[in-house]
Structure 1
Amino acid sequence: MTIRVLAAGDHFVRNDLLAGALRREVAGGLAISELTLPWPVVPFGPVGEVDEASDVEDELIAALRGVEVCVTQMAPLTRRVLDACPDLRLFCVSRGGPVNANLEAATEAGVAVTFAPGRNAVATAEHTMALLLAATRRIPQTHGDLAGGVWRGDYYTYDRVGPELEGSTVGLVGYGAIGRRVARMVEGFGAEVLVYDPYVDVPGQVELDELLRRSRFVSLHARATPETTGMIGAEQLALMPRGSVLVNCARGALLDYDALCDALESGHLFGAGVDVFPEEPIPAGSRLLAAPNLVMTPHLAGASKETAMKAASIVAADVARYARGEPPAHCANPAVTLSARRPSGRA
């Protein structure tokens, strides 16, 4: 039986990667069509009732006619799309979480939604280390001075140099796949690691306030939930030792960025590195653009060739399970059963 699949890739998780992974994983019987989404050339945003998606509802609806499976990174699975696409049974999101899918509506429609946990864990952990070191050693600022023909010897004065990782304490807020990798990396530098994560059982973990008081470096790796939104604000930053460094490669919602700017401007924090923001792109006039010793990257911590290839392979493997009549390995709405696959339509 032929399964009609739409590869709705973009300029990162490309259609050739998705189609190649599907052909490797699924033993024949595929009819693959393609739709190319504009991300990241065109930023994602809210679409209908979902977040962080490409605004392509009309194009997606047209491309999904008669299609049973969609593999994508940024396509919006909204109630409108679901209502217009009765043949859809499986929607595979090649991201760490399916934030671009309306899970309630998908469950009501009998559409299983899968995702790709851990796809960017290595890339994000490595980027975390890059930001931590860049902020601590003032690499962007000193490079900018040199590129402008200025040799700043005053960067070598005691008050301007930063701390070393070796012998320091690094606090990790969140201890999932990324946090665990960062822990191994900083331990390789000779640092002690503290962990706060109420959702995992980590021997010796501490409460958040204790972690902040004891850590010279703090890195955020929690998911954005109602409980974690705004978890690091002025009060929490004030607990960190003077001259410490904060890194956020997780989600902008975790951190109060006005409070971060205050802490940098006052000198309470030596530096910070951030890859995620409360509003993306950063609006003109934002305080972040003038904050001292702040290293910023445009939400690309997870960007590596390996991330894109892993993402394609993870979702293709779940399509293969679906084709064999097996449950998917990474289903966000397991109440939907796919054991009785139908070639088209929904009961």
Structure 2
Amino acid sequence: MTTVLVSGDDFVAPELFADALREAAPGTAFDFRTMRTGWPVEPFGPVGGVQEASGTEEQVIEALGDAEIALTQMAPFTAKVIEAAPKLRMIGVCRGGPVNVDLAAATAAGIPVSFTPGRNAAAAAEFAIGLMLDAMRRITVSDADLKRGVWRGDYYAYENAGSEIEGSTVGLVGYGAIGAIVARVLNAFGARVLVSDPYTDPAKAAADGVELVTLDELLRASSVVSLHARLTPETRHLLNADNLKLLPEGAVLVNSARGGLLDYAPLPALLESGRLGALALDVYDIEPPPADWPLHSAPNVITTPHLAGATRQTAERAALISAGEAARFLRGEPLRHLANPEALAGGTGS
């Protein structure tokens, strides 16, 4: 009998983890302990030295008990939690990175930590395309006007008319799983796609029909720019007051990746001047943004509450990938998505 903590929330429910693990490891007897955090109704945040977590250290410690494996999305696995769980042998986090786990503490305790890259790639890519279309064609803005009784016939005036993706140059900052799907859709629309990503193989870029360029080259040439990079110390404020000035007049900027990639301070002035023609945001430097946030009243701004990955398929896929990693661990097989290989010689559960 293997004791497993399934710590879910209102998006990836504990039952999804349990069902997925039973499917991934048929014939294995499990004793499931359950925990449910308040996300997404309650925003995530820093807890005990880890980031983007939901719930408290005390809740996790109580729920863990003698569990050998923990599958979670948002629960904080801090040094305190790991120290209080001597029987814990593996942690599976169903996110693109295990930011809610103290990797140093897990590694020191010999606990491998898995994650689920690509679980929301399709959802996030589709959402980014939706934001582009919305911003370029003023869908949300004109909807709001019409609902308050304003018929925006002036949007048919040449100087106010929207623009098409076909024939446009679209720049993608970052080219992982999400960026690659976005590029495929943009190519189908007939756009010229530029990519700035130092880790992209030029041969892959050529095969995908995109052009690899520097970030400055991308900003100068793109009428639409969409962010898809991971947030690291090197990419924080990758787009900022200095390089945003390189954009063509009236450019559209989309950020559905991470708020920290973009310096939000210069955006109101860029919108007011017309350097930015429209801005579409799903992520923010402060989440949720405060009531007096300047972009709430800025022109041509579309905002959504961090919804890019919010599909049922994402939740199901995340649970399945995490459960598959746990099943591999139990069979003594190498983990496919191991965040701390030093914790486990050879990356196996043996």
TM-score, with normalisation over the residues of structure 1? 0.96
Structure 1 vs Structure 2: percent identity of aligned residues? 54
**Structure 2 CA distance for aligned equivalents of residues 153 and 206 of structure 1:** 39
SS in 2 for 1:198: coil
Which residue of the partner structure matches residue 33 of structure 1? Answer: 33
Alignment partners' CA distance in 2, 1:231 and 1:259: 13
What stretches of structure 2 of length at least 5 have no aligned partner?
none
TM-fit CA distance, 1:114 = 0.5
Deviations along 1:294-347, one digit per CA (max 9) or x if unpaired, are 111111101101000000000000111011111211110011126465xxxxxx
1:45 corresponding residue in structure 2 = 45
**Structure 1 letter corresponding to 2:58:** D
Superposition map of 1:150-189 within 5 A = 150-189=150-189
TM superposition shift of 1:55 = 3.0
Give how far 1:286 is off: 0.7
2:36 partner SS: coil
Letter in 2 for 1:26: A
Matches within 5 A, 1:130-279: 130-202=130-202, 203=206, 204-279=211-286
User: What is the match of residue 319 of structure 1?
Assistant: 326
| Bigger Cα displacement from structure 2, 244-253 vs 199-208 | 199-208
Alignment-mate amino acid for residue 290 of structure 2: P
Q: Are 1:173 and 1:220, in contact at CA under 8 Å, matched by a contact in 2? A: yes
Question: What do the CA deviations read for 1:156-181 (whole angstroms, capped 9, x no partner)?
Answer: 22222222111111111100000000
Distance 1:189 1:339, change over 3 A: closer
Partner of 2:17: 18
- Is 1:6 the counterpart of 2:10? The answer is no
**Which residue identity does 1:248 align to in structure 2?**
N
Mapped to 2, the partners of 1:156 and 1:233 lie a distance apart of 33
- Structure 2 residue matching 1:323: 3-state secondary structure: helix
Give matches, 1:282-321, under 5 Å. 282-321=289-328
Deviation of 1:235 after TM superposition, in Å, equals 1.8
CA shift, 1:133, in A, is 0.7
Change (3 A) 1:256 1:19: same
Q: What count of residue pairs does the alignment treat as equivalent?
A: 340
Per-residue CA deviations over 1:264-298 (Å, capped at 9, x if unaligned) read 12111110111110000111201121111111111
Query: Which blocks of at least 5 consecutive residues in structure 1 are unaligned?
Result: 342-347
| Cα separation, partners in 2 of 1:205 and 1:100, compared to 1, 3 Å | same
Q: Which has the higher contact order (CA 8 A, sep 6+)?
A: 1
In structure 2, C-alpha distance between the alignment counterparts of 1:245 and 1:269, rounded to whole Å: 6
Contact 2:3–2:68 (8 Å) recurs in 1: yes
Counterparts of 2:163 and 2:276, CA distance in 1: 12
Letter in 1 for 2:110: G
Which residue of the partner structure matches residue 109 of structure 2? 109
Between the aligned partners of 2:18 and 2:272, the Cα distance in structure 1 is 49
Residue of structure 2 in register with 1:93 after alignment: 93
Preserved CA contact (<8 Å) 1:5 1:67: yes
Instruction: Normalising by structure 2, report the TM-score.
Output: 0.95
Q: Deviations over 1:36-62 (max 9, x none)?
A: 111001110000111100132111100
CA distance in 2, matches of 1:281, 1:274: 12
8 Å CA contact 1:216–1:243 kept in 2: the answer is yes
Cα contact 1:45–1:55 (8 A) shared by 2: no
Q: Counterpart of 1:323 in structure 2: which amino acid? A: L
- In 1, the alpha carbon distance for the partners of 2:124 and 2:278 equals 19
The alignment yields a C-alpha RMSD, in angstroms, of 1.1
Which of 322, 336, 343 pairs up with 2:343? 336
Contact 1:162 1:270 (8 Å CA) reproduced: no
Q: 1:193 to 1:339 in 2, by over 3 A?
A: closer
